[in-house]
Amino acid sequence: MSIFYEEQSRTITLHTVSTTYQMQIDRYGFLLHLYYGKRADGCMDYLLTYYDRGFSGNPYEAGTDKTYSMDSLPQEFPSLGTGDYRTPACIIKNTDRTYCSDFRYVSHRIREGKYSLPGLPAVYAQEDEAQSLEILLRDPVTGVEAVLLYGVLPECDVITRSVKIVNASQGHVSVKKLAPACLDLVGGDYDFITFYGRHAMERNFQRMPVGHGTSKIGSLRGTSSHQYNPAVILAERETTEDAGACYGMAFVYSGGFQSEAGRDQYSQTRLLMGLSEEQFSYPLHVGEEFQSPEVILTYSSAGLGKLSRNFHRCIREHLCRGKYKEAARPILLNSWEASYFNFTGESLLALARQAAELGIEMFVMDDGWFGQRDSELRGLGDWKVNEEKLGCSLGELIRKINDMGLKFGIWIEPEMVNEDSDLYREHPDWAFVIPGRRPNRSRYQLVLDFSRKEVVDYIFDQICAVLDQGNVEYVKWDMNRSLADIYSAAADSQGRVLHDYVLGLYDFLERLVTRYPNILLEGCSGGGGRFDAGMLYYTPQIWCSDNTDPIDRLEIQYGTSFIYPASSVGAHVSASPNHQTRRVTSMKTRAMVAMAGVFGYELNLNELSDGEKDEIRCQIAEYKKHAALVQQGDYYRLTNPQTDNQGAWEFVSRDQKEALVQVVGIKKHANMTVDYIRVKGLKENTMYRDMETGRLYNSTALMEAGVPKPVLEGEYQAYQWYFVEEE
Ligand code: GLA
């Protein structure tokens, strides 16, 4: 049992292996938040304080008691209109056109297993691995209900939250704001950690103090975005990688979002995660419901590293699905950086032949194989194989590639249309365009209105017709622009369209994974523009960034690792000089960085020297040796490549018997100082052998004093140790 109701104190307590979360139904029926932190028993309502809060609001039933104020009490689901003037988690526009909601406790229910959410991605678990809690709140005046859902996964130290708004009132209402996760912390000094970025430089780590006022990040782009990732951390000021308290929230959603962190007048901290308020106003007719996406919450008292490992485990084991969830992913060669749009069937086959010879396992044909798609200017929406360009049918091409011993994968971008396409000429109203305005273009393309079922159905059929032409074993699902010009002819309110778009996307993806259970899906959005927990429910891996430069990737993969497991991070060895930065790095360095994710290649193999080809053969053997450790092992960050002179990380097996430590140097100086890499996560005082050199090391010394990183010649040198416990 992980969820308990205690009658006398009216507290509900959620326990995981190392954390406790507690709330209380107070004397007026408000649901107050008491505690979230290290596992603890007992009632924590002593944390609630009552002092004269003169100029704050007091609920009417408090009478002359000025010490009772929702403006100072910690809450589970704060709304507008209860006397709390802080940022609310929920705003509803009522039938009488007011914005007040006063949610009070009605009942609750505890059950075995993890709840699921209709039409939305959500954490899942076996019946005996999780428990769920449902709390019904109701506004006694309007009748509108908020059903708070909590899922508890004790082994992962994870609690999930979602909210359903039910219009049990007498008229039409609309949901104007909804944040399924709210965390009110009465004490402590916190930092707000977020992951900002841009195309080709995603998920940079930023840590800033939570001050008075509200810090807000989010996306107005209709997708989770390159610019801010929908996952945040609140860490005590002193918290480091290995010590201190921190809370994480990851939104299981791929559309617009917002996260707000702020200190109130009494220096209490509130953290919210939810849907973007911009262009959002979801209509609910009498009896209708709105189910929010869920947020994954986790807490660590042992620093950021442990917090990340909680997220990794939950995402890897309880969010990713399908045949490839645990299985080793095929080592692929992607054609994009090898030839961009300039290929023929013959040139693809020549590339595939070389790939097969080197031991690569799958060939992926990227953009450019359909319609008139020879550049970014045209063709999106016309999912008809360009047999003239390929010189044969798709089926034939796949057969030839399969005959070489390679699997075959293909690139698609179903949500998009070019104006220069047959689809747009036939159905111009299927793209987001506001009547009377000219639409914003981005990469010369427009976005299809996936909030409309007939559009989703049509594209789904087109894509299936392609996939059915042969033995397709992998699909890269791309999405290369942000949404704009939101107008849907069919919608009863434009305020619902952005969310309905995401539901349309999820519907398509669910149908795809159901119909093709053996296909491995990789997500992509101009690289990592939609790298979120929502997509990972359908695509167990996501192309991490269009930037394949290994030195930039140190920072991108560092930021990504705070929330997302290595098994989700698509990473390829590409050409040098790199196509995005022109930086020159060794094959070894490029491979080491790519091996810290789902490994593959993306370059013209036919241009390589024999020496480089031999290196690739060795890299493939090396990756295969460690693939399970990388995919399923515990991940440790050993340095911060934003500030340290190297990127270093480590994978440790669950049984702590083996560990792979990888390091890439950044700046080079004459007469170099020596950097010592402190290994983490090994058994104490145990002998481990470095399998590269054969040398034996004591693990405590490795963790306390570190191991000197060899001073190698040249810039950006990579080095690794593979430690195995000596029996
Ligand atoms: C995006 C992707 C790339 C590639 C191109 C093709 O930029 O991130 O990997 O697929 O589109 O147009």
Is the CB–ligand 1 distance for residue 480 below 6 Å? yes
State how far the Cα of 45 lies from the Cα of 43, in Å rounded to an integer: 6
532 carries an active-site annotation: yes
pLDDT of res. 580 = 98
Catalytic residue among 45, 129, 485, 612: 612
Mean of the per-residue pLDDT values for the chain?
A: 98
pLDDT of res. 689 = 98
> In this prediction, what percent of the chain has a pLDDT beyond 70?
100
pLDDT of res. 621 = 98
State how far the Cα of 174 lies from the Cα of 153, in Å rounded to an integer: 33
State how far the Cα of 153 lies from the Cα of 83, in Å rounded to an integer: 34
pLDDT, tens digit, for every residue of 666-723?
Answer: 999 999 999 999 999 999 999 999 999 999 999 999 999 999 999 999 999 999 999 9
pLDDT of res. 1 = 83
658-665 and 646-652 beta bridge pairing: antiparallel
pLDDT, tens digit, for every residue of 381-396?
Answer: 999 999 999 999 999 9
State how far the Cα of 503 lies from the Cα of 498, in Å rounded to an integer: 9
Residue 525 CA: which ligand 1 atom is closest? 8
pLDDT, tens digit, for every residue of 341-361?
Answer: 999 999 999 999 999 999 999
Q: CB–CB of 627/591 below 8 Å?
A: no
412 CA distance to ligand 1 middle (Å): 10
pLDDT > 90? residue 54: no
Residue 73, token pair as written in the block: 């009490």
Is the CB–ligand 1 distance for residue 369 below 6 Å? no
340 CA distance to ligand 1 middle (Å): 9
pLDDT, tens digit, for every residue of 213-229?
Answer: 999 999 999 999 999 99
pLDDT of res. 644 = 97
Which region, left, alpha or beta, applies to residue 221 given φ > 0 means left and ψ of -120 to 50 means alpha? alpha
Helix axes 497-515, 453-467, angle to 10 degrees: 30
The CA dihedral of 555, 561, 567, 572, to the nearest 10 degrees, is 0
Nearest-CA residue for atom 7 of ligand 1: 526
Residue 546 CA: which ligand 1 atom is closest? 8
pLDDT band per the 50, 70, 90 thresholds, residue 197 = very high
Pocket test for ligand 1, best of 367, 539, 547 (most atoms within 8 A of CB): 367
Q: Is 719 helix (H, G, I), strand (E, B) or coil?
A: strand
Residue 527 CA: which ligand 1 atom is closest? 8
- Specify which residues 158 forms β-bridges with: 153, 298
Cα-flanking dihedrals φ and ψ of residue 133, to 5°?
-130, 135
CA distances from 65 to 51, 68, 242, 261, 694 (A): 10, 6, 45, 29, 73
Residue 507, token pair as written in the block: 């519907």
397 CA distance to ligand 1 middle (Å): 21
Q: CB–CB of 12/5 below 8 Å?
A: yes
Nearest-CA residue for atom 6 of ligand 1: 367
What is the radius of gyration, based on Cα positions, of the chain? Answer: 26
Catalytic residue among 532, 546, 549, 690: 532
634 carries an active-site annotation: no
Question: Which of 33, 19, 25 minimizes the C-alpha distance to 7?
Answer: 25
Provide the b/e sequence for 625-643 (b: ≥16 CB within 10 Å): ebbebbbbbbbbbbbebee
pLDDT of res. 634 = 98
What lies within 8 Å, CB to CB, of 602 at 6+ separation is: 333, 334, 336, 337, 338, 548, 572, 573, 574
Cα torsion angle, 565, 531, 517, 573, sign: negative
Is the CB–ligand 1 distance for residue 336 below 6 Å? yes
Is the CB–ligand 1 distance for residue 157 below 6 Å? no
616 CA distance to ligand 1 middle (Å): 24
Is the CB–ligand 1 distance for residue 74 below 6 Å? no
17 CA distance to ligand 1 middle (Å): 42
pLDDT band per the 50, 70, 90 thresholds, residue 232 = very high
Nearest-CA residue for atom 4 of ligand 1: 336
CA distances from 378 to 336, 386, 437, 446 (A): 17, 13, 22, 11
Q: For 540-557, what is the mean pLDDT?
A: 98
pLDDT of res. 490 = 85
pLDDT of res. 394 = 98
Q: Could you give the count of Cα atoms lying within 13 Å of 658 in the half-sphere of its Cβ?
A: 13
Q: Could you give the count of Cα atoms lying within 13 Å of 600 in the half-sphere of its Cβ?
A: 29
Q: Which residue has the tokens 């100072």?
A: 72
Is the CB–ligand 1 distance for residue 522 below 6 Å? no
